[in-house]
Amino acid sequence: MDVPRGLDPRWLDDDQQHAWRQLAAVMLKLPSELDHQLQHDAGLSHFEYWVMALLSEADGHRLRLSDLAAQANASLSRLSHVVTRLERRGWVRRTPSPDDARTTLAVLTDTGLGQVTAAAPGHVETVQQLVFDPLDREDVDHLARVCGAIADRLDRHRDG
């Protein structure tokens, strides 16, 4: 990771150390809680829910797998596996794209739409309780700003 030889690494100072631990705690625990609630109440992983929610918002309830992967922040491989599983349960089906024979569209079925719709209220309530209840309105702005900056940096890190 390009540590200049002969120079001290840029260690984290106390503030950074503290902030990093809090962020790491959220990264570790929050996904597990969300998975737990959704699994228990709707038989879905958080990622499966996210994918189906994205499809439910899309025109014609369908998206190219690549686009879906990008919006879900996932690898194409991961998405392909998940779509296969959702397909087995009848909530999503694959359709060849009319424009480009390479690309596949994932389409949310009516049953699938019903599934997300039913799961949504419980999931949103959990997000409210775990993420937003402990925050005031200013905090929400800060959260968006800070995470937005990091997320941008992460995007550029991939190709840049």
Distance CA 49, CA 39 (A): 10
**How many residues sit in the footprint of DNA (CB under 7 A)?**
29
DSSP state at residue 3: P
Find the DSSP H helices in 43-159.
Answer: 46-57, 65-71, 76-88, 110-127, 137-159
Residue 34: CB partners within 8 Å, gap ≥ 6?
Answer: 46, 123, 126, 127, 130
Whichever of 74 and 120 has its CB closer to DNA, that residue is 74
Tell me, residue by residue from 40 to 59, as one string, x for binding to DNA by CB under 7 A and - for no binding: -----x-x------------
Q: Which of residues 11-70 bind a second copy (CB under 8 A)?
A: 11-12, 15-16, 18-20, 22-31, 33, 37, 41, 50
H/E element holding 17? helix 14-42
Note whether 129 binds a second copy by CB under 8 A: yes
Note whether 117 binds a second copy by CB under 8 A: no
Note whether 118 binds a second copy by CB under 8 A: no
Judged by CB under 8 A, the residue of 44, 56, 149, 159 near a second copy is 149
Which among 6-14, 97-105, 132-140, 145-153 is the span making contact with DNA, rule CB under 7 A? 97-105
Name which of 96, 86, 25 is nearest 50 in CA terms.
Answer: 86
- Mark residue 114 as left, alpha or beta (left: phi above 0; alpha: psi -120 to 50; beta: remaining): alpha
Judged by CB under 7 A, the residue of 30, 42, 53, 65 near DNA is 65
Q: Which residues bind a second copy (CB under 8 A)?
A: 1-3, 9-12, 15-16, 18-20, 22-31, 33, 37, 41, 50, 72-74, 120-135, 137, 139-155, 157
